[in-house]
């Protein structure tokens, strides 16, 4: 129920959420992107693409016969006891003063909902779940085989590593969101690792990969793989953008009530969405959008990530450029004004239509089952929380129109319904709408502008309903890495 991150992860988590370190986090992303980009610079395609330049980069793939089921179990247990030791003996946290009796009490009284803060439950716990997950992935286990270690590590913590009762929301967030962040960070770290390199280049790669996925780095360290010479890994297609600019937020869409932020954005597509026949395992295609907008005392953090679990091409509308798939999604958006998160399973249908030699439209329509979602509500503070929590449904529609090779118009819409199970009785409806335009001058540089509209309806059983709306206008320079 309380924080349970490893010492290895703790500094990185604070790293992301601390005002003075946001820029450094973006520089790590930039460094990682540059390393990835530099692995096979001679293979850069000359073809322009609005979302990035198509490039072949390396991907380290574990030998399918080199699986170790016991090592990740030991690492998960060791991770939990290391964190317990840190919180009990070094920081003297009261909740970490466990005993045989506290374990008996937790087993007897069972699960409940906890009142930890939004950032703790919606970001910290998923981040720690990714560490559990990646102990297994770094030992050669596949995506599905790694999930029980995530669930088991969280279950062990909830029952035995705290004196407080185990928490439904901790177990759910750690597991269902942790596997999404875990698989993405595992694959991104593998993109950076190249065991055929030596010297300074090898050191920088290993440090960058360790920063992105600490448990993978730790596993490589104890196995001696950090300094082991190997072959150049497999190649993988990625599209990477880094943007910097301004973000003007208008509270209640009032032009007179606004904040000005410095905006940093990172976008990555791993694999190709319409190459479904090559997606032999989960997350062979995934996308990540992360952004930070910061000003003094009121930072905005946004993460939207998702990867394919299953997909298949089909023929319709006189074309076979259609894909139906099931995707695991994670959305997070929060600042001092509004908060939202959702961990979802999304069924999606996508179409790619080529209009001419230099123009095309890509569209997607999806329906989501929200396994666990949350939204802030001013009423929830009355019961000691800063958000409402529950399952729900969602719908999403994306459309990109690329024309003249260098221009892109894009439209994104997401609508979520969350039925409150923990918080103020009622239902939360959250809408996110994004409309923008990008222009690419060459294969490495472009500009963009977009508008974002956020709205929330809170409909409650015993209290007045709430409607809030905000808007932002952003301008940015775009670097295609």
Give yes or no for a contact between 346 and 367, defined as CB atoms under 8 angstroms apart.
Answer: yes
Which of 276, 346, 351, 353 is closest to 312 using CA atoms?
Answer: 276
Q: Which helix (H) or strand (E) holds 308?
A: strand 300-316
Residue 239 CB neighbour total at 10 angstroms: 20
Characterize 149-160 residue by residue with b for buried, 16 or more Cβ atoms within 10 angstroms of its Cβ, and e for exposed: bbbbbbbbbbbb
According to the model, what pLDDT value does residue 255 have? Answer: 82
pLDDT value of position 66? 82
Query: What pLDDT, on a 0 to 100 scale, did the predictor assign at position 38?
Result: 55
CB atoms within 10 A of CB 448: 21
Strand partners, 332: 303, 341
- At residue 43, the pLDDT reads 31
Q: Are 336 and 319 in contact (CB under 8 A)?
A: no
For each successive 10 residues of the chain (481 residues), what is the average pLDDT?
A: 44 40 44 53 36 41 70 94 89 87 94 88 91 96 97 96 92 95 96 91 93 93 89 86 95 84 96 92 96 86 95 85 96 87 97 91 97 91 87 97 94 97 94 96 95 95 93 96 85
What pLDDT is attached to residue 20?
39
Alpha carbon distance 30, 49 (integer Å) = 19
Q: Give the CA distances from residue 406 to residues 83, 238, 359, 435, in Å, rounded to whole numbers and listed in that order.
A: 50, 19, 9, 17
- pLDDT value of residue 209: 93
pLDDT, residue 365, reads 97
The whole-number pLDDT of residue 394 equals 98
- The DSSP element (H or E) to which 8 belongs, if any, is helix 7-17
- pLDDT value at residue 319: 77
Q: What is the pLDDT of residue 357?
A: 87
């Amino acid at each position: 129920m309380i924080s349970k991150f490893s010492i290895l992860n703790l500094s990185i988590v604070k790293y992301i959420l601390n005002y003075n370190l946001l820029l450094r986090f973006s520089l790590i992303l930039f460094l990682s992107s540059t390393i990835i980009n530099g692995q096979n610079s001679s293979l850069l395609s000359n073809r322009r693409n609005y979302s990035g330049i198509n490039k072949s980069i390396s991907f380290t793939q574990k030998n399918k016969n080199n699986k170790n089921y016991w090592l990740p179990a030991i690492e998960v247990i060791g991770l939990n006891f290391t964190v317990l030791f840190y919180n009990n003996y070094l920081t003297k946290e009261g909740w970490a003063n466990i005993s045989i009796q506290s374990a008996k009490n937790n087993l007897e009284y069972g699960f409940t909902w906890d009142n930890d803060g939004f950032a703790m439950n919606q970001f910290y716990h998923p981040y720690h779940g990714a560490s559990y997950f990646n102990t297994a992935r770094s030992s050669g286990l596949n995506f599905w085989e790694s999930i029980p270690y995530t669930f088991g590590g969280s279950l062990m913590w909830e029952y035995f590593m705290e004196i407080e009762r185990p928490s439904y929301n901790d177990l759910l967030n750690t597991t269902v969101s942790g596997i999404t962040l875990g698989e993405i960070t595992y694959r991104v770290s593998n993109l950076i690792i190249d065991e055929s390199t030596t010297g300074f280049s090898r050191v920088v790669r290993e440090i960058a990969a360790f920063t992105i996925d600490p448990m993978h780095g730790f596993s490589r360290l104890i196995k001696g793989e950090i300094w082991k010479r190997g072959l150049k890994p497999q190649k993988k297609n990625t599209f990477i953008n880094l943007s910097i600019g301004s973000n003007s937020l208008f509270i209640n869409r009032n032009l007179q009530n606004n904040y000005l932020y410095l905006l940093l954005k990172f976008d990555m597509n791993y694999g190709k969405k319409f190459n479904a026949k090559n997606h032999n395992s989960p997350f062979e295609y995934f996308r990540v959008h992360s952004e930070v907008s910061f000003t003094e005392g009121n930072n905005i953090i946004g993460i939207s990530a998702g990867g394919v679990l299953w997909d298949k091409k089909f023929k319709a509308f006189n074309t076979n450029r259609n894909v139906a798939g099931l995707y695991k999604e994670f959305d997070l958006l929060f600042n001092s004004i509004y908060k939202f998160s959702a961990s979802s399973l999304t069924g999606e249908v996508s179409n790619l239509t080529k209009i001419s030699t230099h123009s095309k439209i890509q569209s997607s329509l999806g329906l989501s089952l929200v396994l666990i979602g949350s939204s802030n509500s001013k009423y929830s503070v009355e019961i000691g929380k800063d958000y409402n929590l529950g399952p729900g449904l969602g719908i999403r529609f994306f459309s990109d129109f690329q024309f003249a090779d260098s221009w892109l118009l894009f439209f994104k819409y997401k609508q979520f319904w969350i039925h409150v199970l923990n918080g103020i009785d009622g239902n939360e409806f959250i809408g996110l709408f994004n409309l923008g335009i990008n222009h690419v001058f060459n294969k490495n540089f472009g500009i963009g502008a977009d508008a974002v509209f956020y709205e929330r309806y809170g409909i409650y059983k015993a209290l007045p309903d709430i409607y809030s709306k905000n808007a932002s206008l952003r301008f940015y320079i775009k670097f295609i890495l």
